[in-house]
Amino acid sequence: MRNLAQQIYGNQLTEYSKKQTQKQKNGYSSRLGWVFVSKDFTKETTKAVRTYGSLFNVSKDYTYFTPNTFYRNDLRRLSTLRWINAISIDIDSKNGENEGMTLPDVQESITAAGLPMPSLIVQTPSKGFHVHWFLEQSKRASNKLNAHYSRIQTCIAEMLKGDVNAIGPERLFRLPTDENTVFHSQERVSFDELCEWFQLVQEQDQQDVHTYKKGFCKGYESLLKHPAVQKILEGVNEGQRDTACYTLALAYKAAGYDEKTAEAYLHNWNQKNTPQMRQIEVKRKVKSAYNGRFHAPSAKKIRELSGMLFSYVIWEEAKPREERTYSHIQEWEGDVLAFIRAHGGRVSGSQRDLAEQITSSVNADKKIPYATFKKVIARLEEQEILSKKVSGKGRGASTELCIIDEVKARRAQFEPSKKEQDTAPKNNGLNSNTIKDTVVGGTALSRSQGTEVASSSEHSILNLPSTYSTSLQQAPLPGNVPSAFTSALFNRGFTDGRFIFGLGERFS
């Protein structure tokens, strides 16, 4: 256990605890971390250790541990995470899922997924597996890193048929012992290598979306009516029930059903399964779906459960600015330019003070975030609309902003609002230069007639003389029409020379 722990944690744990005098003399180290151990996931049976000696002593009495370490010993949360040392996956075999799975099956699925060899595999009493990849170099936890870690972890869990609900670098896993360790290697993987693997999987998924166009489903509303989902609703066999129940619960959630209604529907669905799930299990799956971070089911899971082609996409229209929590960057650009123009086209002061004075044009109580303000200034500088001059350093620095191109500034300010006003879809309809022929045919018009048409207020539709040709045979294009113009017309589907009104005369 000690050697394995040292392989995971390195210098994040000490051999023995420091005395208080040593802490006062040398200070507290920012590289050290706390490992949480637990008996049954409850707060009362969970404690934190920070030395290898303590970890070795408690391993006999405790069942679970955290592969990643924390900077607090009283709170095991994502926000208190300090070091990420491993990516770990829980492959569950309860309730018929992955029933009969063996270690060679796990290793084969890892190879098929294109993943590197794991560092440790622990078998659980329920015949499931906890698979760990130890990182070559521990990563300092951050919000962005934690989020990407969870994305990679979810992707690996899906590929290995693991538990996609057991996600997060702060989670507990079974303590490895000589009895439950079924695979151990000295292999370690870099986090960058896992990121590259994840990117390749994402690219492949994008290609798969094009493959599944026949099973395309647009919008959450039609999700439950899709043949692939309907097939799952007919009932599934043992080994698929948990995943199917969770997937269908997410489908009901996405379609706008409340949790109670979805649970009632899924209890009815459960009667079609062979064998049926326990009612408490259905309730748990629905609760997990409605309280979890996923808003819609995985298209990949629906394909696997149904064996049918399936994919879907959601198109959402942008909300009006006053209803949005955040404004688009272009809209803030207009607000910044309006503020500078109101002060004579030139302002100066600290950037934070300037940002404090700028408010949204639709909500005077809403101020521009400082980070957004800096992005807006950088964008306007790049577009050569603003000039920025900084004098001084540190807290005493002063920034001068000046509008240098009023034309560009006006365009930048008013284009976003114009886009918001023009929300109605536009078709390529008639305009003032359009001459519409209501029939296939026509006769050449004189130059004077063409001029009258161009100057008329009712020029959108051309009333042809009664002498127009009614023949359906195509007429050749006039020989004096330039070849480039002929080619352009042909590319647009015009192959009949009779739609050329007066062109032969104009090009002659």
pLDDT in tens, 335-394: 899 999 899 899 999 988 999 999 888 888 888 988 889 889 988 888 888 899 998 887
Q: Is 394 left (phi over 0), alpha (psi -120 to 50) or beta?
A: left
Q: Which amino acid is at 455?
A: S
Q: Which residues pair with 216 in a beta bridge?
A: 311
State how far the alpha carbon of 324 is from the alpha carbons of 81, 218, 219, 328, 360, in Å: 32, 24, 21, 9, 12
Q: Which residues of 263-273 are buried (b: 16+ CB within 10 A; e: fewer)?
A: bebbeebbeeb
Check: CB of residue 354 under 8 Å from CB of residue 346.
no
Residue 113 to residue 411: CA distance in whole angstroms: 51
First to last CA, the chain: 95
Which pLDDT belongs to residue 207? 55
Which pLDDT belongs to residue 307? 83
User: Before 275, cis peptide (omega within 30)?
Assistant: yes
Q: Which amino acid is at 480?
A: N
Q: Please give the helix or strand (H or E) that residue 62 lies within, else none.
A: none
3 state DSSP class of 3: helix
Which pLDDT belongs to residue 339? 92
Check: CB of residue 67 under 8 Å from CB of residue 173.
yes
Residue 242 exposure: Cα atoms within 13 Å on the Cβ side: 18
Secondary structure percentages of the chain, helix, strand, coil, to 5: 45, 15, 40
Sheet bearing 120-123, strands edge to edge: 69-70, 81-91, 129-140, 120-123, 181-184
Which pLDDT belongs to residue 66? 95
Which pLDDT belongs to residue 58? 86
Which pLDDT belongs to residue 22? 53
Check: CB of residue 502 under 8 Å from CB of residue 447.
yes
Q: Mind listing the pLDDT tens digit of every residue in the chain (508 residues)? A: 678 888 899 989 988 765 554 554 444 567 899 999 999 888 888 999 999 988 988 888 899 999 999 999 999 999 999 999 999 999 988 766 778 889 999 999 998 888 999 999 999 998 899 999 999 999 999 999 999 999 999 999 988 988 888 899 999 999 999 899 999 998 899 998 999 888 888 776 655 544 444 444 445 667 888 888 999 999 998 888 999 999 999 999 888 889 999 999 999 999 999 899 999 999 999 999 998 878 888 888 888 898 887 776 554 455 565 555 555 777 888 889 999 989 989 999 998 899 999 988 888 888 898 888 988 998 888 888 889 999 888 778 899 999 887 776 676 666 555 544 544 444 444 343 444 444 444 444 444 444 433 343 333 333 444 444 444 455 555 666 665 555 555 555 555 555 544 444 444 4
Residue 269 exposure: Cα atoms within 13 Å on the Cβ side: 27
Which pLDDT belongs to residue 491? 54
Check: CB of residue 9 under 8 Å from CB of residue 45.
no
Residue 267 to residue 278: CA distance in whole angstroms: 10
State how far the alpha carbon of 249 is from the alpha carbons of 97, 259, 260, 300, 351, in Å: 18, 8, 11, 15, 48
CA 448 remoteness from chain centre: 60
Residue length, the chain? 508
Q: What is the 3-state secondary structure (H, E, C) of 311-378?
A: EEECCCCCCCHHHCCCCCHHHHHHHHHHHHHHCCCEEEECHHHHHHHCECCCCCCCECCHHHHHHHHH
Which pLDDT belongs to residue 99? 80
Residue 138 to residue 84: CA distance in whole angstroms: 6
Angle at 144 between CA 143 and CA 150, to 5 degrees: 90
Which pLDDT belongs to residue 324? 55
| pTM of the model as a whole | 0.48
